[in-house]
Amino acid sequence: MIEHVPLLAMEGIDKQFSGVPALVGASLSIDPGEVHALVGQNGAGKSTLIKILTGAYRKDAGMISFTGKSVEFTSPEAAQRGGISTIYQEINLIPFRSVTENIFLGRALKRYGLLNWSKMNEEAEALLRRFDVKIDVRQPLFAYNTAIQQMVSIARAVSFQAKLVIMDEPTSSLADHEVEVLNGVIRQLRGDGFSVVFVSHKLDELYAVCDRVTVMRDGRSVATARMADISKLELVATMLGRDLQTVKREGQTAFHGAGHASDRTLIVAEGLRVGTRVKDASLSVRAGEIAGLAGLLGSGRTEVARLIFGADQPDAGTITFDGKPVAFRQPIDAIAMGVGFCSEDRKVEGIVPDMSVRENLTLAILPRLARSGIIDEARQSEIVDDFVAKLGIKTTGPEQKIRELSGGNQQKVLLARWLCMNPKLLILDEPTRGIDVGGKADIQALIRALADSGLGVLMISSELEEVIEGSDRVFVLRDGRTVAELPRSAVSELAVMTAMAQGEATADGRVG
Amino acid sequence: MNFAMQLLRSQGVLVVLLLLILFGALRYDHFLGQFNILSFLRYNAMFALIALGMCFVIMTGGIDLSVGSTAAMSSVIAAYVSPYGLLPGLVAGAAAGLAVGVLNAILITRLNILPFIATLAGMLAASGTGLLLAHNESIGVSYDSGFTDIGQGDVLGFPIPAWLAILAYLLGSLALNYLPFGRNVLAVGGGEDAARLMGLPVDRVKFTVYALSGLMAGLAGVQLAAQFGAGQPTEGVGWELFSIASVVVGGTLLTGGVGSVGATLSGVLLLGLVFNILNFENGMGLVSLRAHWQSILRGAFLLIVVIIQSRLALRVRRNA
């Protein structure tokens, strides 16, 4: 079936961003009429590769050939004209405009020099009918749900005579039955001779609809295989950079640093559900332990953390804190009960770059430091000096602007911000992301010390070692569901990866 | 359902406009008299032109603060050129406005300066240039060259400024609804990133609307000079806010992406009528309403519309 002249061949693609390599000799080859999965962890280079293909970025080196000709698109517009249409993760259409317009913008049908609305409406209807979508195309796009909007995107791509349609996480905001419809459409596209690049983290979907898969890691294309020839576990191992044979041989590993988890359960979350991202998540954290929350990108880890912190409200499920059922309506309620949350995006949601270390550190505790609105500066300095010393924050002084600190020290300030509130539970979302090796070990040791002192820690991490070596228990999320709860004795790379891939844990691991 | 709502919104202005006219007609003699109607239309034609340009700018999600002082500057230039005849005066004023518009457009699209700041600079520059050229004084226009016809003349018993405004609005409506340009304007305002990814000529669209807005302000300046017989460098203060208000009252979203040319005209007339009715009310001598009341009433209209709009925007966000 598969022809030997590829529709698209990208080879040896290099790309650096201010000296940091994002792609190193990456490659991608797509055959005509195939649905090709592109997978990889965060930062593996998938989106950079796609953006180079579609002209959003320029490559530093390498070659791209499309339909047998060497090409280099300079803009998304040029790529679109050349036959490559992209459907982005966030639906990139214009909500206020009608369905028809969203399909025909940039390619208007005219009569006597004026727009021919009736013709465009007719064609839009016909296009959508091909995908079994029957809607009033004159309505503004926002009147319809995400799945329909996605179909409109696809219809637009098809109407632009695309040969290759790139779908960047198209299912991330779809409900299960909508995913089915989308899969049907993708199969139909393939049947009509289109090629599709399918970027997703949901393994089941890849296996349901894709012919081949290319795995990226650290800016390289590390494997390309037929879906039929690669198991889910192999796929996950490849994404995470593990040699499956070695992992299997080593089996369970012993880890240093025993936890002192008490029997006091701090928080229990059961059956959490919100939107389409979190379907049935349960976990618990005991005082004095580090509970790891593992899962592939898009499995709903951060969303679960936000639910526990009260930043979002669950559609269903219960949360019990310190033995009492709670429903945090907003973060401040959770904070009042002793929950702290260091978010994943330190730069955007954490630090205030132009404020000093002192100001950043005491931002959350200010209300408690103020007496009739005036801040007790002596207490403030005391707290700051105390934590700078205790956490070993490397700074020229409390008045140094936090943006001048290294990533690891910024993270310490953020930890201190929560610690000075005397929390019982600390939620850490990717606590060591973007921090250099030395800083990383520092932070990890600090987290362990905090747990040893009785704090409950819920740690989200994409790094397998971090979760495995750092946690006393590991919960594995897969597609919005808790699929495994692994006690320390059962935690191993193989067990975690198996749960991520198949929703099953090995040997001692309990299956949720 | 949503189109019905959109319709109601655009027609809502029209309904209020008609109610206001009915109120005036019932309450005041001569309100529907030929003199009042024609002078009302003649005077408000200037604002209609400016609001039309502003409408397109706002539909892209931008703003043009320079229109008032651009009109003032253009009135001075038109007045200086008026001895050479109607056409030279008209072209000179329009070109002056276009020049400011193009300057704004370059700042915004090439140098990526925020429209608010770029046109604020344009506003100050145009205002200064007008005052400089006129040496802080009004510049009388030539009454012999026929220049004043464009402001004071009639065709078929109807004021020429009103004819011009009607023509401009017809063209504007056509461009918005039946030319790719108009749809691109709405697409850029509805989602600039999406429009870029769709391959639409975003910068060209933005360039065009600011240039157009400048041109409209220039034409309004020509009207100002021709109707009042003088180029007036100190006029035009607050016109930008009045025209933004007209556009918004007409149901165009300040954040861009939704708008209507026809409803903008309704907005201009509605806010103009508030002033007209206040004049009549004072003329009746029963109560003496200070002119400040017109600002308060206009402000109230504006607020009501903006509240309705923000609720709509909220609904869209929920659905997105």
Reply yes or no on whether the pLDDT at B294 is more than 80. Answer: no
Mean pLDDT (chain B) is 89
By the 8 A CB rule, do A253 and A238 touch?
A: no
Query: Chain A contacts of B190, Cβ < 8 Å?
Result: 94-97
The two beta strands, A164-168 and A84-87, are: parallel
Question: Which stretch, A324-328, A342-346, B102-106, B136-140, has highest mean pLDDT?
Answer: B102-106
CA distance A71 to chain B (A): 18
Contacts of A106 in chain B (CB under 8 A): 184, 198-200
Tell me the two tokens of residue B1.
């359902």
Instruction: Give me the residue from A81, A95, A110 closest to B320, CB to CB.
Output: A95
Number of domains within chain B: 1
Give the neighbor-by-neighbor strand order of the sheet with A61-66. Answer: A20-30, A8-17, A61-66, A69-70
For residues B79 and B313, the model is more confident at B79
**Residue B5, domain member (yes or no):** no
CB of B131 closer than 8 Å to CB of B234: yes
Interface of A with B (CB under 8 A): 75-78, 80-81, 86, 88, 91-97, 101, 105-106, 108, 110, 114-115, 138-140, 142-143, 145, 156
B25, part of any domain = no
Structure confidence at residue A292 (pLDDT): 93
* Residues in chain B closer than 8 A to A78 (CB atoms): 199
Which residues are CB-neighbours of B126 under 8 A, at least 6 positions away?
Answer: B66, B69, B70, B72, B73, B100
Q: In the structure encoding, which two tokens stand for residue B268, read together?
A: 């201009």
B20 domain-assigned: no
Domain that includes residue B312, residue range: 38-280+291-319
Residue type, B165: A
Indicate the Cα dihedral angle A205, A207, A208, A212, nearest 10°.
Answer: 110
B143 touches chain A (CB under 8 A): no
Task: Tell me whether residues A94 and B257 touch, CB distance under 8 A.
Answer: yes
Alpha-carbon Rg of chain A, whole angstroms? 25
Angle between helices B261-284 and B34-59 (to 10 degrees): 140
Neighbouring residues of B29: CB distance < 8 A, sequence distance ≥ 6: none
The one-letter code for the residue type at A104 is: F
At residue A271, the pLDDT reads 93
Indicate if the pLDDT at residue B204 is higher than 60. yes
Which helix (H) or strand (E) covers residue A68, if one does? Answer: none
Q: What is the pLDDT of residue A409?
A: 87
Containing A308, the helix (H) or strand (E) segment is: helix A301-309
Contact B178, B118 (CB under 8 A): no
For B234, the 3-state DSSP assignment is coil
CATH code of the domain containing B95: 1.10.3470
d(CA A6, CA A51): 20
Residue B245 lies in a domain: yes
Q: How far is B166 from chain A (nearest CA, A)?
A: 20
Judge: A97–B183 Cβ closer than 8 Å, yes or no. yes
ipTM: 0.82
Residue B4 included in any domain: no
Mean pLDDT, residues B248-256: 86
The residue among B293 and A360 whose pLDDT is bigger is: A360
Q: For residue B279, report the phi and psi dihedrals to the nearest 5 degrees.
A: -60, -45
Alpha carbon distance B289, B294 (integer Å): 9
Tell whether B174 is within 8 A of chain A (Cβ).
yes
Contact status of B180 with chain A (Cβ, < 8 Å)? yes
Question: How many angstroms separate the CA atoms of A166 and A36, rounded?
Answer: 9
What whole-number distance in Å separates Cα of residue A319 and Cα of residue A285? Answer: 11
Of the candidates B236, B261, B225, the one whose C-alpha atom is nearest the C-alpha of residue B58 is B261
- The answer to the question of residue B15 being in a domain is no
> Is the Cβ–Cβ distance between A157 and A113 less than 8 Å?
no
Contact flag B191-A95 (C-beta cutoff 8 Å): yes
Give the distance from residue B6's alpha carbon to the nearest chain A alpha carbon, in angstroms.
Answer: 10
Share above pLDDT 70 across residues of chain B, in percent, rounded to a whole number: 91
C-beta atoms of A88 and B197 within 8 A: yes
Residue B48: predicted pLDDT: 97
Which residues of chain A lie closer than 8 angstroms to B179, CB-CB?
114-115
C-alpha dist (Å) from residue B39 to B35, B273, B298: 6, 12, 20
C-alpha–C-alpha distance, residues B94 and B82, integer Å: 13
Domains of chain A are 8-230 (3.40.50.300), 249-338+423-512 (3.40.50.300), 357-421 (no CATH)
> Among all chains, which residue has been given the structure tokens 């997703």?
A200
Residue B14 lies in a domain: no
CA distance B154 to B303: 37
The pLDDT assigned to A240 comes to 83
Residues of A in contact with B194 (CB under 8 A): 92-94
Query: B29 lies in a domain?
Result: no
Q: Do B199 and A80 touch (CB under 8 A)?
A: yes
pLDDT digits (tens, 9 = 90+) for A49-76: 999 998 889 999 999 999 989 999 988 8
**What string of pLDDT tens digits covers the 512 residues of chain A?**
445 689 999 999 999 987 788 899 999 999 999 999 999 887 788 888 999 998 889 999 999 999 989 999 988 888 888 999 888 766 688 988 999 999 999 888 888 889 999 999 999 999 898 888 889 999 999 888 877 888 898 888 888 888 999 998 877 777 777 788 888 889 988 998 899 999 887 888 889 899 999 999 889 999 999 999 998 888 888 888 887 777 766 544 334 455 556 678 899 999 999 888 899 999 999 999 999 999 887 788 989 999 999 989 999 999 999 889 999 999 889 988 999 998 887 777 788 888 999 999 988 888 888 888 788 888 889 999 988 988 888 888 889 998 888 888 888 898 898 888 889 999 999 888 877 777 788 888 888 988 998 899 999 988 888 888 889 999 999 989 999 999 988 888 888 888 988 876 544 444 43
> Which comes out higher in pLDDT, residue A260 or B102?
B102
Contact A95 B174 (CB under 8 A): no
Given CB atoms, is B2 within the 8 Å cutoff of chain A?
yes
Read off the pLDDT of residues B150-191 as tens digits, 9 standing for 90 and up: 999 999 989 999 999 999 999 999 999 999 999 999 999 998
Give me the pLDDT at residue A66, please. Answer: 93
Q: Is the pLDDT of residue B290 over 70?
A: no
